[in-house]
Amino acid sequence: MNKSLLLALSAPFVLLALPSCSVQPTAADYDRMAQEMMKNSFVARGIATMDRLNPDQANDLCAQAEVAGQQLDDKTAQAIQAAQMKTIVPPADGRFLGDWREGELIAQSGRGLTWTDVATAASGGNCFNCHQITKAEISFGTLGPSLLNYGRLRGVTDPNSPEARPIVEYTWGKLSNPRAYNACSQMPRAGHKGILTQDQMRHVMALLLDPESPVNREVAN
Ligand code: HEC
């Protein structure tokens, strides 16, 4: 191997090692190194651009707390939630619910946002990946709580009634930006990050809240 190639290959590692040469690297150093390594090895392709590697304030603070093995302090958590709450956009026409059948297809689909997808293609919500949602689908993740009987358990008999409004608004907010309610939520910010369109969110809302949806017609466990 020629000398300049060797130098070029080793340069990132030398740079990464420098800040911590005299003392043991801390967890934060390792975190920084990991970020540098990702930046050096990822390339922008199609719609998968490098800005995805830039953490926003919430990601940054939550990652720092996790690396330090600590919980976020209440004040920081509340500041993140307040800032994230401001990103929630209510449905343009005031309609919160669409068609649960469409919603189930969206919840099932984990497709989207890779470099082989085009910007105009609709993405999936990937909800089953983390939640039990219907009894019929037996393949689901358990990172998030079960959403079986989501509307029924919350007493929603008519999602368009004034009584249902608080839970309808909360669910819309949660789908838009879960960090507005839980600063370091692991759930994707489907609305805020443009993963789902408002129409798609309406369909997923119906899946969770329409009394006719299979979600609310399941016999309780
Ligand atoms: C990567 C995993 C993940 C994905 C994907 C995901 N969620 Fe979640 N979800 C969670 C976790 C974890 C929680 C609990 C923590 C929290 O509330 O932030 C949660 C909470 C929720 C809640 C609040 C439940 C309650 O009782 O308040 C709803 C509603 C919800 N998810 C719906 C959805 C829907 C609909 C989708 C698809 C558009 C989805 N989630 C996708 C992980 C996920």
CA of 82 from ligand 1 middle (Å) equals 19
Q: What is the pLDDT of residues 23-73, one digit of tens each?
A: 788 877 887 888 888 888 888 888 888 887 777 888 889 988 988 899 899
Say if residues 212 and 183 touch (Cβ distance below 8 Å). Answer: no
Residue type, 34: A
Question: What pLDDT band is residue 176 in, cutting at 50, 70 and 90?
Answer: very high
What is the chain's alpha carbon radius of gyration, rounded to the nearest angstrom?
21
User: How far from chain centre, in Å, is Cα 11?
Assistant: 35
Q: Is the minimum distance from the CB of 112 to ligand 1 under 6 angstroms?
A: no
Ligand 1 pocket: which of 128, 174, 213 to mutate (most atoms within 8 A of CB): 174
Q: Say which amino acid occupies 193.
A: K
Quick check: 167 and 154 in contact, CB under 8 A? yes
Which of 72, 97, 100, 130 has the most ligand 1 atoms within 8 A of CB, as the residue to mutate? 130
**How many C-beta atoms surround the C-beta of residue 163 within 10 A?**
12
Tokens, residue 140: 């689901």
Closest CA to 35 of 21, 55, 20, 49: 55
pLDDT score recorded for residue 42: 87
Evaluate: CB of 15 within 6 angstroms of ligand 1: no
- Give the pair of three-digit tokens for residue 203: 């369909």
pLDDT surpasses 80 at 195: yes
Q: Give pLDDT, residue 7.
A: 47
Other CB atoms within 10 Å distance of the CB of residue 23: 8
- pLDDT surpassing 60 at residue 10: no
* φ, ψ at 117 (rounded to 5°): -90, 150
Q: Whose Cα sits closest to atom 16 in ligand 1?
A: 185
Question: Average pLDDT in the 92-104 region?
Answer: 97
Query: 191 CB under 6 A from ligand 1?
Result: no
Q: What percent of the chain has pLDDT over 70?
A: 89
Q: Tell the CATH superfamily of the 100-217 domain.
A: Cytochrome c-like domain (1.10.760.10)
Instruction: Name the residue with the closest Cα to ligand 1, atom 34.
Output: 127
> Which residue's alpha carbon is nearest to atom 38 within ligand 1?
125
The structure's pTM equals 0.86
Domain ranges of the chain: 3-73, 100-217
Q: What is the pLDDT of residue 1?
A: 45
> Nearest CA to 84 among 173, 166, 177?
177
pLDDT at position 30 is: 83
Rounded-to-integer distance, Cα 111 and Cα 125, Å: 8
pLDDT category at 14 given cuts 50, 70, 90 is very low
Alpha-helical regions (H) of the chain: 3-17, 27-41, 57-67, 74-85, 100-108, 150-153, 165-176, 198-209
Please indicate whether residue 173 or residue 113 has the higher confidence score (pLDDT).
173
Instruction: Output the residue whose Cα is nearest ligand 1's atom 7.
Output: 187
Positive/negative CA dihedral, 91, 165, 201, 199:
negative
pLDDT above 60: residue 156: yes
Nearest to 173 by CA among 190, 195, 153, 155: 190
Phi, psi (5° rounding) for residue 85?
Answer: -60, -35
C-alpha of residue 19 to centroid of ligand 1, in Å? 39
171 CA closest ligand 1 atom index? 29
pLDDT of 18 higher than 70: no
